[in-house]
Amino acid sequence: MQPRTQRQKEILDYIKCFIERHGYDPSYAQIARHFGLNSKATIAKHVGALERRGLLARERGDGLFNLNVQAEETTAAEEIYDIPLLGRIAAGAPVDAIANTDTISIPRFLLGRVRPQSVYALRVVGDSMIDEHICDGDIALIENRTEAQNGEIVVAMLEGGRVTLKRLFRFNSEIELRPANSQLAPFRVPANQVAVQGIFRGLLRPAT
């Protein structure tokens, strides 16, 4: 059985992706924030609809709701795609790009509306994005795009071919590359010295 509306499908896909990335279920507040909504009641309504369709189960434990995604027949969202693993990306000081020709298999739902053909993967080095739960050794899923909105996490190529994973903000003729680590400071460079190589879209954490 499928979600009845597009928003229900988006919420179900987000919950699956969140669990895959973090290993635990998102709260109603986190789901609402992701979709730019102010009302947790709206999320509860959609979750209730998914529950009635047998796609989610809610269990109360320790005073909290746990959202458990139910098994269902394979759909297009659960198809597996092989995408290129092109090398490594610094979540720390920029590092020289290292090319490689490996591939990695990922479930379709991790990419949301992004076409798998426009996605590549990079292995994360360092901990400058740890507050976004992007850790050393993780696999970052990147949409191949050269334009970014303020605040997006991007693959930024600097002079000399060095690359880094940071949030991007524009300030007139400069670009600030901002880490997600309270121990590290952002840095600014002239805008003409930064080339956006892609937008962060998801994460895989290899089993240890």
Q: Which CATH number characterizes residue 19's domain?
A: 1.10.10.10
Q: Evaluate whether residue 74 is within a structural domain.
A: no
63 and 88, same domain (yes or no): no
This prediction's pTM: 0.60
100 and 21, same domain (yes or no): no
60 and 162, same domain (yes or no): no
Q: Evaluate whether residue 187 is within a structural domain.
A: yes
Please count the structural domains in the chain: 2
Of the two residues 59 and 62, the one the predictor is more confident about is: 59
126 and 105, same domain (yes or no): yes
pLDDT tens-digit series, residues 5-41 = 778 888 888 888 887 777 778 888 888 888 888 888 8
- Please give the positions annotated as active site: 128, 166
196 and 111, same domain (yes or no): yes
Q: What is the mean pLDDT of residues 86-115?
A: 72
Q: Which domain holds residue 43?
A: 6-69
Could you say which of 48, 69, 90 is where a domain stops? 69
140 and 99, same domain (yes or no): yes
10 and 52, same domain (yes or no): yes
197 and 112, same domain (yes or no): yes
Q: Evaluate whether residue 135 is within a structural domain.
A: yes
151 and 50, same domain (yes or no): no
Mean pLDDT across the chain:
82
97 and 195, same domain (yes or no): yes
Q: The domain spanning residue 95 has which CATH number? A: 2.10.109.10
pLDDT tens-digit series, residues 137-179 = 999 999 999 999 999 999 999 988 888 999 999 999 999 999 9
Distance CA 117, CA 153 (A): 20
Q: Hey, what are 95's tokens? A: 């590092």
Q: Evaluate whether residue 1 is within a structural domain.
A: no
